Amino acid sequence: MLIVVTGPPGAGKSSYIRAHAKASDIVIDLDLMALAMAGPGADHHDHHPVLLRVVHRARQAAIHEAERHLDQVDVYLIHTMPQAKARAHYKRLGAKVVTVDPGEHIVRQRVRDMRQPAMEAVVTRWYRDRRKGGSRPVTRQASRTW
């Protein structure tokens, strides 16, 4: 099964996966992939643009290959803000979608404490996009399929 974990930066998506995934599951987490490919002492959330380009391509390859094995293993995929095309693709695959959101105040405090200042704009966009039209309400933590 594909489990797509969404939520704003600092919400606890990686922590959710650590609490739920088994050792035999596949976890596709851009931050962990970047850290694995970065040199010693790299910042967990601040990566060189070239490294990010390489990691994004590796992530796409990992997703593509993992999708071929959904009948054998669970695949946890962090996708902060999937656009309509990705959501439709995940729906076709029968994905379970988990939104991790401890609340905007908590997220903003975590980002101020632990992330690069540029992440604040991503948080703003995440909450703005979720409020538009009321079709995808913001929840503390909800599971759904698109």
CATH class of 2-144: alpha beta
**pLDDT at 11 exceeding the cut of 90:** yes
Distances (CA, A) of 135 to 4, 36, 113, 120: 18, 37, 31, 24
Which range has the worst mean pLDDT, 40-49, 71-80, 105-114? 40-49
Each residue's pLDDT tens digit, 44-65: 677 788 998 999 999 999 999 9
For residue 115, which phi and psi values (nearest 5 degrees)?
Answer: -125, 170
